[in-house]
Amino acid sequence: MFVRNEDFRSFLRLYPIVSIITGVNLFLWIFTTFLPGGSIFLQHFIGYNAAISQGEIWRLVTPIFLHGSFTHVLFNSFSLVLFGPALERMIGKGKFITAYLVAGTAANIATFFISSPFLFHLGASGAIYGLFGIYLYMVLYRKDLIDANNAQLIITILVIGLILTFLRPNINITGHIFGFISGAAIAPLILGKKRSFSYYDHDEISFDPNRWKKRKLQLNGKTIIWGIFIVLIILGLVNRFI
């Protein structure tokens, strides 16, 4: 479910929304970091609560696509590429982008009302935690949509995410929490009456854990969990000291 084995062209074709969002994130980080006019652009579109209170409401959405450092954009892009494709194929392009934007915007709205009026914030974390919220809803209430191995993986990643939320510096904790809550809240509408994972019999989108036995490269469930664990911890610690 969360192991990507497509080539680049197939990935773009199968997961266009994930691909577009990832591309936009990377492009805007390069633009705002290295190119002329990037810093001015960032000033006008970064999340800034004082400016939002003055009517610049676009700042509730635009920070979802902006990042402050290479490790920041790498961490969020890695998470999106890892966890976004299965959900995009399952619920469709329209519902996926809707869920992503709703969760990210809700996280920024909560940040506006709860955090300091002088807070600057940016990043896709609120939207990505919204995806986690949808997955957790599946684990708790729609077990027909996710098998036990992947459910265990989701719980593990959520625990890792919670730990990193409080370990990494300059984290918008409010955004993470309310992005997650928003994703879980809209999950019933997003998932609707989707059929059980056994229905998705196409090899590219099947949620059946036995699908990996068909591959030349055998992937054990625990190997996947610990592999993701190690990568996320390394990225989190690198970001802490940069």
Q: Which of 19, 79, 125, 182 is catalytic?
A: 125
Residue-wise pLDDT for 135-172, tens only, equals 999 999 999 999 888 888 888 888 887 777 777 667 89
Q: Which of 67, 176, 182, 206 is catalytic?
A: 176
Task: Say if residue 213's pLDDT is above 50.
Answer: no
CA end-to-end distance (rounded Å), the chain: 32
Whether the CB-CB separation of 208 and 147 falls below 8 Å is answered with: yes
As a whole number of angstroms, the distance between CA 63 and CA 60 comes to: 7
Instruction: Determine whether 202 is an active site residue.
Output: no
Report, as an integer, the average pLDDT of 204-229: 48
Q: Going from the N-terminus, what domains does the chain have, and what CATH number goes with each?
A: 8-240 (1.20.1540.10)
Instruction: Determine whether 176 is an active site residue.
Output: yes
Residue-wise pLDDT for 64-85, tens only, equals 999 998 988 998 998 899 899 9
What pTM was computed for the model? 0.83
Q: Kindly list the distances between the CA atom of residue 17 and the CA atoms of 12, 95, 148, in Å, as whole numbers in the listed order.
A: 9, 10, 27
Residue-wise pLDDT for 166-188, tens only, equals 776 678 999 999 999 999 999 99
Residue given tokens 């691909």 in the structure block: 19
Whether the CB-CB separation of 172 and 125 falls below 8 Å is answered with: yes
pLDDT category at 7 given cuts 50, 70, 90 is confident
As a whole number of angstroms, the distance between CA 225 and CA 101 comes to: 27
- If DSSP codes are grouped into helix, strand and coil, which group holds residue 72? helix
119 phi, psi to nearest 5 deg? -75, 135
